[in-house]
Structure 1
Amino acid sequence: MAIVSIATALMLAACGGTGAGGGAATSAGATGSAAAADTLVGVAMPTQTSERWIADGNAVKEGLEKAGYKVDLQYANDDIPTQTQQIDAMITAGAKLLIIAAIDGTALTSQLETAASKGIKVIAYDRLIRDSENVDFYVSFDNYKVGVAQATALLYGLGVTDKDGKATGTATKGQKVELFAGSLDDNNAHFFWNGAIDTLKPYITDGTIVVGSGQDTIEQAATLRWLQETAQKRMEDLLTSTYGGKGTGLKGVLSPYDGISRGIITALQGVGMGPSIKEGLPVVTGQDAEIASVKLIADGVQQSTIFKDTRKLAAQAVTAAQDFLAGKTPEPNNTTDYDNGKKVVPSYLLEVDTVYADTIQAMLIDSGYWTADEVKSGVAK
């Protein structure tokens, strides 16, 4: 993936969310010291099966190393015991700070208790860690707004609203849709779902759209571990049980993540729908701007994706880490919404964008996130 310099991203993050009493520029000046060079930071990421998490891990590691720290970056391949063991090992190795993107947001209580007993600060990265008082800071995107954006994209694709969510007043009534959610053990999945459902509810209530299967709760729509294969199997089952095996009448599918989207699209095309939206494929949303899905959007197959610029998220995590390691407190921009069951975790939230075929150039290529060749091939280089 073509990624701009982490130093540039750090400057962007510093403009929006510097730590109290300092910020990225001030902290960076101190991190060239011998003390910083002897400081180990543990970075725990959930999996390498998603391009997104590989990019996050590499960007966080690069930013921390440029700031002068030693970094232990580990991926757990979506296995909870592996992640807990990796975090235990980081603590044993003397890490002074942990940045954790949890597989299961409820499974790390013991590790965080140990970290707190040793004075190790913990930054939850994009996925809120639940049921622990020992989460010191949270960096993420505004995940409720992600859900709103996904639902708005779906409604736009169905002609119910414009791109900004304003009702057109000319939409066909009774359009059938299906809903997919993320993994229930990921706190973000609930924010995505709530934002989407709050946005869709008025149009479900007035009959503009109808959930054909009747599966309209997050428990029914959930996709364990966000797996593409799991989503494909559920979509295949829905096509058989509700749409006569051919998808007759299905107009759109709310998908919270690009991997899930590709599973859904495979199932839809497998029964002869499409192959593109112009040729009758239902509108399918997404998230994370994964290159395989960006190509599908460019080709008119997937309708949209939510772009979460992970370069800025990684830079914000580095900024918060620098503040903690300098004895300062990072400055949050949200202190009310992210209750993990034990405390409201001070958070820094970044904004997101919706990518359609006509905005790939401006949002993804011109910004250096992907190159034109990558978009054309669907493969990261």
Structure 2
Amino acid sequence: MKRRLKKLTALVLGVSVCAMLMSGCGKSTASVDASSENGGSEKTGGITIGLALPTAQEEIWVTHAENLQKAAEDLGYETILQVANGDTDKQFSQVENLLTTGIDVLVLAACDPGSTGNIVQRAAAEGVKVIGYDRVWAGDPYDLYVTFDNVAVGRSMAEYAVEMAPKGNYTLLGGDVVNQPATNEIHQGWMEVLQSYVDSGDITIVSDQNCKNWASDEGLAHAENALTANHNEMAAVLCANDGIAGGAVQALESAGLAGSTLVTGQDSELAAAQRIVAGTQTITLYKASDELAKATIEAAGLLAKGEEVKASGDYEGIPMLSLPPTVVDKEHLDEILIDSGYMSKDEVYE
């Protein structure tokens, strides 16, 4: 984790200097054959993609940054990376700076998706195509939304949970609710599965809380409250991400329930993989960020060249490319996370 953070810090510093000294940071070119499901047939240089990401303080976003830059490098495209670390005003300023550099496409993962309409409109007015990366706000004029199916994320968690724990008390710990559509979509997926069990009386949802900033300490506090209020009787804690799951596991450890209460998460962070090996977290949802990055950069290249991107669906009027998640439990962890090269065996089993 420290290695990745140091690498990203260097990248951010480098691209910031590059933005100030554009005359010395020419766009790379390439002309190598490539193929794409969206119809791209050649690698073409001369395209610059601005990457505006929300944070470097979560492992998953460090991974997203690395994968986006690698995907662009593989296709011969230049990237300029900016990371706002949760500061919406800072992200606005960073995007404004990106637009002045002459980028062809903006890949925007907003700190606050509900407050980006003006900046997306400005990019569109300047002829810059905008791809919403993993999060958008309905009604904003994005050219494309590339994401994982968040309803399927929630549904997959709940399906696994009811198979393993079809009766008992459940706690639901969702993500941030401030302009975060993914939170509602994950919850929708949970309830599509759980509602019939609730109606039959087999499952009782004793706590349904959201966690500000998707934070671990919020998961810890809400899980502690739920356990106390229900005399430590808890069959499952469904957590919207691995950070929240980490907090829930802390609460369960204090109550002597870690390993006996089912816990879900998503993002396949290293700490989550280690908890799965230890038996304190049951599953994480793996969302192949390299595949998401590849699809995003391929689409960016097509948009920059004025070509069509074949969307797989529609999100509130925004063309959407949606990728499915994969359930990772202890039995399949090595196959999915280690054999694929996403993590090393040494770091998981340290």
TM-score range, shorter chain: 0.7 to 0.9
From 216, 219, 225, the counterpart of 2:213? 225
User: Secondary structure at the residue paired with 2:174?
Assistant: coil
In structure 2, C-alpha distance between the alignment counterparts of 1:143 and 1:251, rounded to whole Å: 24
Q: Which residue matches 2:55? A: 47
Q: Conserved in 2, the CA contact under 8 Å of 1:102 and 1:129?
A: no
Q: Which residue matches 2:222? A: 234
In structure 2, C-alpha distance between the alignment counterparts of 1:100 and 1:296, rounded to whole Å: 32
From 100, 109, 124, the counterpart of 1:101? 109
Q: Which residue matches 1:289? A: 268
From 176, 182, 188, the counterpart of 1:183? 176
- Residue 243 of structure 1 and its aligned partner are, at CA, apart by 2.5
In structure 2, C-alpha distance between the alignment counterparts of 1:42 and 1:156, rounded to whole Å: 44
Q: Which residue matches 2:13? A: none
Q: Conserved in 1, the CA contact under 8 Å of 2:149 and 2:323?
A: yes
- Residue 103 of structure 1 and its aligned partner are, at CA, apart by 1.6
Q: Which residue matches 1:201? A: 195
Structure 2: 5+ residue stretches without partners? 5-33
Cα root mean square deviation, aligned: 1.9
Structure 1: 5+ residue stretches without partners? 4-12, 161-172, 216-220
Q: Conserved in 2, the CA contact under 8 Å of 1:27 and 1:322?
A: no
Q: Which residue matches 1:243? A: 230
From 51, 57, 73, the counterpart of 2:81? 73
In structure 1, C-alpha distance between the alignment counterparts of 2:170 and 2:325, rounded to whole Å: 24
More strand by share: 2
In structure 1, C-alpha distance between the alignment counterparts of 2:164 and 2:92, rounded to whole Å: 42
From 137, 146, 157, the counterpart of 1:150? 157
Q: Which residue matches 2:302? A: 323
Q: Which residue matches 2:328? A: 355
User: Secondary structure at the residue paired with 1:319?
Assistant: helix
Q: Which residue matches 1:6? A: none
Q: Conserved in 1, the CA contact under 8 Å of 2:276 and 2:283?
A: yes
User: Secondary structure at the residue paired with 1:156?
Assistant: helix
In structure 2, C-alpha distance between the alignment counterparts of 1:113 and 1:128, rounded to whole Å: 13
What letter corresponds to residue 311 of structure 2 in structure 1? Answer: P
From 256, 262, 270, the counterpart of 1:273? 256
- Residue 128 of structure 1 and its aligned partner are, at CA, apart by 2.0
User: Secondary structure at the residue paired with 2:332?
Assistant: helix
- 1:332 maps to 2:311: yes
Q: Which residue matches 1:166? A: none
From 281, 286, 289, the counterpart of 1:302? 281
Q: Conserved in 2, the CA contact under 8 Å of 1:14 and 1:319?
A: no
In structure 1, C-alpha distance between the alignment counterparts of 2:335 and 2:69, rounded to whole Å: 27
- Residue 73 of structure 1 and its aligned partner are, at CA, apart by 0.9
In structure 2, C-alpha distance between the alignment counterparts of 1:361 and 1:91, rounded to whole Å: 42
- Residue 192 of structure 1 and its aligned partner are, at CA, apart by 0.9
- TM-score calculated relative to the size of structure 1: 0.80
Q: Which residue matches 1:88? A: 96
Q: Which residue matches 2:347? A: 374
Q: Which residue matches 2:129? A: 121
In structure 2, C-alpha distance between the alignment counterparts of 1:365 and 1:130, rounded to whole Å: 36
Change in CA separation of 1:155 and 1:82 when aligned onto 2, cut-off 3 Å: same
Q: Relative contact order (alpha carbons < 8 A, sep ≥ 6): 1 or 2 greater?
A: 1
What letter corresponds to residue 291 of structure 1 in structure 2? Answer: L
In structure 2, C-alpha distance between the alignment counterparts of 1:71 and 1:60, rounded to whole Å: 9
Q: Conserved in 1, the CA contact under 8 Å of 2:35 and 2:42?
A: no
In structure 1, C-alpha distance between the alignment counterparts of 2:275 and 2:53, rounded to whole Å: 27
- Residue 212 of structure 1 and its aligned partner are, at CA, apart by 2.1
Q: Deviation above 4 Å: which 4+ runs of structure 1?
A: none
Q: Conserved in 1, the CA contact under 8 Å of 2:169 and 2:206?
A: yes
What letter corresponds to residue 376 of structure 1 in structure 2? Answer: Y
Q: Which residue matches 1:7? A: none
Q: Which residue matches 2:27? A: none
In structure 1, C-alpha distance between the alignment counterparts of 2:298 and 2:161, rounded to whole Å: 35
Q: Which residue matches 1:64? A: 72
In structure 2, C-alpha distance between the alignment counterparts of 1:237 and 1:81, rounded to whole Å: 34
Q: Conserved in 1, the CA contact under 8 Å of 2:108 and 2:130?
A: yes
From 247, 251, 258, the counterpart of 1:263? 247
> Aligned ranges for residues 28-47 of structure 1 at < 5 Å?
28=43, 30-31=44-45, 36=46, 39-47=47-55
Q: Which residue matches 1:8? A: none
Q: Identity, % of aligned pairs?
A: 30
- 1:138 maps to 2:179: no
- Residue 14 of structure 1 and its aligned partner are, at CA, apart by 5.8
